[in-house]
Amino acid sequence: MAVLDLSWTEKYRPSKLDEVIGQHAIVERLKTFVGAKNFPNMIFAGTAGVGKTTSAIAMAKELYGDKINEAFLELNASDSRGIDVVRGKVKEFARTIALSGDIVKIIFLDEADALTPEAQHALRRTMEKYSATTRFILSANYASKIIEPIQSRCVVLRFKPLSEEDMRKYIQRVEEGEGIEVDEKATEALLYVSEGDLRKLTNILQSAGFSRKKVTDKEIYDIAARARPKEVAIMLKHALGGDFMKAREELNKLVLSYGMSGEDILLQCYREALNMDVPDKLKLRLISAIGDYNFRIVEGANDRIQLEAMLARFALLEKEKAV
């Protein structure tokens, strides 16, 4: 019985810095640190799936080679957000001496912005106390959530979302490595639903590649639970045309066919509103309204009621023009 490979994300993860995708400027700086075998504390800031964790691990592999297990500790701060993780695992690793005494160790805290303020203050004290033997790399989607005393002790490296060209090259690499075929429509769908997140792209592509060797755009949208851009655009056009009932029918299709949440639908409405062929003043009103209803849903209001209220508001814009 064949065993399915469920770890494409790890399988295609670079083992050295030169293989990291789409972050050339940051890679060059990290290579300089590796060459000098000396580097500061760092914050890797950027959205999910752009190479923060990969870069930290690749840097550690180049620095330590076979000694990586004694000199590199990786923790996910979102698993343990409190002060205990800092007083326990982090402090314990920082105070130990590597078997090779000349090695400066690295503690990599993934999703460090999930740490509580108390835990971050404890971390700051640990960073100060063990600065001679240990360096810290903090990964954060939102660097602003890291307290100022830690930010001032770190170099902040900002990772940008991956370009379409980089993601296309990656898709081609996976195609060749896995013996699957991804047509142009499927590629466009992958780029649309992943939004620069290479990890998300890999997981969706892997799921689609299990069922058949030729991946289609329909499978991509189904797996990602996303609607095609034109389906969302049609709903918005009906609403802006003053036909609330037809817009509501299209909303029903999105909810029933894809099982999309209110926030997912609003996100796609936002993206399509920007691309619609309407006056800029109307786009401003649409985006303002989408922001209002997104806030209501995040605060706990009923998804369906708020989505229909948004469509009704769009339909009333047409009525206002007629007055």
Looking at residue 38, its amino acid is N
Residues 71-92 have pLDDT tens digits of: 888 887 665 555 666 667 777 7
pLDDT value at 318 more than 70: no
In this structure, the number of other CB atoms found within 10 A of the CB of residue 310 comes to: 26
The last residue of one of the domains, among 133, 158, 183, is 158
Whether residue 314 contacts residue 272, with contact meaning beta carbons closer than 8 Å, is answered with no
Whether residue 254 contacts residue 235, with contact meaning beta carbons closer than 8 Å, is answered with yes
Whether residue 8 contacts residue 202, with contact meaning beta carbons closer than 8 Å, is answered with yes
Q: Residues 1-7: what's their mean pLDDT?
A: 48
Regarding whether 244 and 195 lie in a shared domain, the answer is no
Structural domains counted in the chain: 3
pLDDT value at 135 more than 70: yes
Q: What pLDDT score does 320 carry?
A: 61
Q: What pLDDT score does 244 carry?
A: 92
Q: Residues 278-289: what's their mean pLDDT?
A: 90
> What mean pLDDT value characterizes the chain?
84
In this structure, the number of other CB atoms found within 10 A of the CB of residue 140 comes to: 23
pLDDT value at 1 more than 60: no
Q: Residues 226-235: what's their mean pLDDT?
A: 87
The last residue of one of the domains, among 158, 192, 215, is 158
Range of the domain at 144: 8-158
Q: What pLDDT score does 238 carry?
A: 92
Regarding whether 120 and 251 lie in a shared domain, the answer is no
The last residue of one of the domains, among 117, 133, 158, is 158
Q: Residues 93-114: what's their mean pLDDT?
A: 77
Q: Which helix (H) or strand (E) holds 230?
A: helix 229-240
Q: Which residues contact 104 (CB under 8 A, 6 or more apart)?
A: 37, 38, 39, 71, 133, 134, 135
Regarding whether 218 and 138 lie in a shared domain, the answer is no
What is the rounded end-to-end Cα distance, in angstroms, of the chain?
A: 70
In this structure, the number of other CB atoms found within 10 A of the CB of residue 133 comes to: 15
Regarding whether 151 and 37 lie in a shared domain, the answer is yes
Regarding whether 138 and 24 lie in a shared domain, the answer is yes
pLDDT value at 100 more than 70: no
Report the relative pairing of strands 72-76 and 42-45 from DSSP bridges.
unpaired
Higher pLDDT, 57 or 1: 57
Helix extents (H) in the chain:
8-11, 24-36, 52-64, 68-71, 83-85, 91-95, 117-129, 148-151, 164-178, 184-194, 198-211, 217-224, 229-240, 244-258, 262-275, 280-298, 303-322
Residues 253-269 have pLDDT tens digits of: 888 877 888 888 998 89
Q: What is the pTM of this model?
A: 0.76
Q: Of the given ranges (62-66, 67-71, 99-103, 208-212), which has the lowest mean pLDDT?
A: 99-103
